[in-house]
Structure 1
């Protein structure tokens, strides 16, 4: 299968670098280039490419306006935003992702041209592998691909607990009929969400729909670099009745708040001696190349919190979250996974469902109402019982 691609950028130098990077990847054909937004729309409509790399800051129509125009015309293609690693770049990229862009890459800024080309090729190859593997990513000119290939688990350094390592169940034959009825925890200390590719758009369709009376803390790990997680939190906060912030070390995770793991850091959770749920932000190493990591966050949750909480795994590539969910489930946590049909990338939820870890599979459109039902059934925020001060530390430092 060949991915037909269009490169959109107002810089002649970067257009060449991007074209060279894409052309060096097997199975990719650059069918056209565009130097501005207006010509980009015309060429995308005419060529119907499988993939577009899109600069945001351009004369005439900018990248956001290109996305709007494609949506108005009903043009479906996979868009990878090319972003600067700046506050402004993070802001417009987050907006583009919430509008339906598939993912983004950062413009390399090395002094060495060869290093820039190698960095671009590596990042693009990773994303294009995902596009090829996902039939729901709508290949315009290609036949559907097989669903995501599940690689063997990557061995990471011992994640976040000093207690016994959690084993992952062997894959089981999953009966999806058993996952159609929602299962709710009787009480709810917190909701823990893990999400990756397609996440900003999915979260933008869920968090702003939760009512101001929603009193259960929501803790989210979204795979994003520094600056971008803070920008996403700000964007969600501006459109939500709930208070959405990027988590900081020692921050109480109070009811009615949504807490985003900071990019480039690891976010854990602990309960203090008085039963308050507290954020623990560290510079611990990546797990499965992820920082922040869903496994790290979920594996840090004390059993006193896990037994009356909800874990939610949403759209994303790979298997981050599988090990953490296995630990939570063994400690009584209820687990929901997003349905294949409603995912941008059915990778992370697939790992949960096919390993027999899910209690319920939900469609994205139903999630706001389901979470509201949960808050009503659980009577809102459930404080964590106080724990003895002699409790062993939860976070590993190695």
Structure 2
């Protein structure tokens, strides 16, 4: 089996050593070089183009965003940003995703090497997932699915038959991961101000979703915010699940829907998990809901989308041609959970048609 060849770029020697050690311990990964700055990295790339680059943001001589933009224009390569920027740097990391980075690994400012060692499984899976991403004109990469862990059973019991009858409003549930930030932007920008209420789980690090929601709110006609426990799902509003620590679930209070943001174990290796959101929609919304699964690595959301369909919801999956990583939609389609498979550019239209009375 061909290994994923990785170039590590970080000005910290300890981080380079830790990343090299963590990645090299995976038999499916080979670290071909570790560079202290973009200039040294460029020389390595001239000799051998890696399958994946892990790239720090804050570096001397040239910052990571500038190097990322140059790399994507000259030699499109899957890039995973590895940064200590959190609250203050969220906008910078959003710029990285806009510039073509496929994912983000956050590192603390203190005890970086120890933190990376504790997060070794997530780091390896992120890098292998990036290798499967479509970037620029690159050929589709290899598939690398993480081992499965807990299902939504760890948070919610399975749905029991079809959910309650329709209300006057519909609710849309969207799940996405790798490549999802820009895909979600395209979908939400295409929606009118009176679009049906939408709840979103996008796999993101802690403290990152607030900046993501603010950015979308400034671009879209619909109002977008990071969800808080008890928020009402209403027409013209989009709620983004907070990243990192808690799950987001849909609940019904009379004729309206609200979200519950609660602690729980990792489900399908994620928190928040798309499976948890979709199962809650199957239980509490049924045919009042539309489920949409978009680009992302792994299988989170595949089981939940099928449960939504079985409860009477309309379900959509993003197609392979427009997905950065086709893992999540492919799994949902294979399980029979998708009523329709559509390209990214058609999702907003299909969403509106599915919720029209």
TM range (shorter): 0.7 to 0.9
Residue 45 (structure 2) pairs with residue 64 (structure 1): no
Taking a change above 3 Å as real, the CA distance of residues 71 and 360 of structure 1, as seen in their structure-2 partners, is: same
Taking a change above 3 Å as real, the CA distance of residues 129 and 72 of structure 1, as seen in their structure-2 partners, is: closer
Residue 60 (structure 2) pairs with residue 80 (structure 1): no
Match of 1:221 among 191, 194, 201: 201
Name the structure 2 match of 1:197. Answer: 178
Give structure 2 stretches of 5+ with no counterpart: none
Name the structure 1 match of 2:123. Answer: 124
Provide the rounded CA distance (Å) in 2 between the counterparts of 1:29 and 1:330: 43
Taking a change above 3 Å as real, the CA distance of residues 101 and 372 of structure 1, as seen in their structure-2 partners, is: same
**Could you state the TM-score of these two structures normalised by the residue count of structure 2?**
0.86
The worse-fitting range, judged by mean Cα deviation, of 230-239 and 23-32 is: 23-32
Look up the SS of the partner of 1:300 in the other structure: helix
Residue 247 (structure 2) pairs with residue 266 (structure 1): yes
Provide the rounded CA distance (Å) in 2 between the counterparts of 1:215 and 1:144: 34
Superposition pairs for residues 12-27 of structure 1, below 5 Å?
12-27=13-28
Q: Deviations over 1:167-213 (max 9, x none)?
A: xxxxxxxxxxxxxxxxxx9x86011101111111211222223233x
Name the structure 1 match of 2:329. Answer: 349
Superposition pairs for residues 85-234 of structure 1, below 5 Å?
86-108=86-108, 111=111, 113=113, 115-116=114-115, 118-119=117-118, 121-131=120-130, 134=132, 136=134, 147-148=143-144, 154-155=150-151, 157-161=153-157, 164=160, 189-212=170-193, 214-234=194-214
Q: Deviations over 1:309-366 (max 9, x none)?
A: 2100111122221232222112210000111222122121112111112110011133
Residue 27 (structure 2) pairs with residue 47 (structure 1): no
Provide the rounded CA distance (Å) in 1 between the counterparts of 2:3 and 2:318: 29
Match of 1:339 among 313, 319, 334: 319
Provide the rounded CA distance (Å) in 2 between the counterparts of 1:87 and 1:70: 26
Match of 2:230 among 250, 259, 263: 250
Provide the rounded CA distance (Å) in 2 between the counterparts of 1:163 and 1:303: 5
- Displacement of 1:161 after TM fit? 4.2
Q: Is the 8 A contact 2:65 2:96 kept in 1?
A: yes
- Superposition RMSD on alpha carbons, in Å? 3.2
**Could you state the TM-score of these two structures normalised by the residue count of structure 1?**
0.78
Look up the SS of the partner of 1:21 in the other structure: helix
Name the structure 2 match of 1:395. Answer: none
- Displacement of 1:61 after TM fit? 2.9
Across the two proteins, how many residue pairs are aligned to each other?
A: 352
Higher Rg of the two aligned structures: 1
Q: Is the 8 A contact 2:9 2:55 kept in 1?
A: yes
Give structure 1 stretches of 5+ with no counterpart: 167-184, 380-398
Provide the rounded CA distance (Å) in 2 between the counterparts of 1:60 and 1:357: 49
Q: Is the 8 A contact 1:233 1:260 kept in 2?
A: yes
- Displacement of 1:90 after TM fit? 3.0
Q: Is the 8 A contact 2:317 2:342 kept in 1?
A: yes
Provide the rounded CA distance (Å) in 2 between the counterparts of 1:366 and 1:119: 41
Look up the SS of the partner of 2:233 in the other structure: coil
Name the structure 2 match of 1:388. Answer: none
Match of 1:282 among 262, 267, 284: 262
Provide the rounded CA distance (Å) in 2 between the counterparts of 1:48 and 1:235: 33
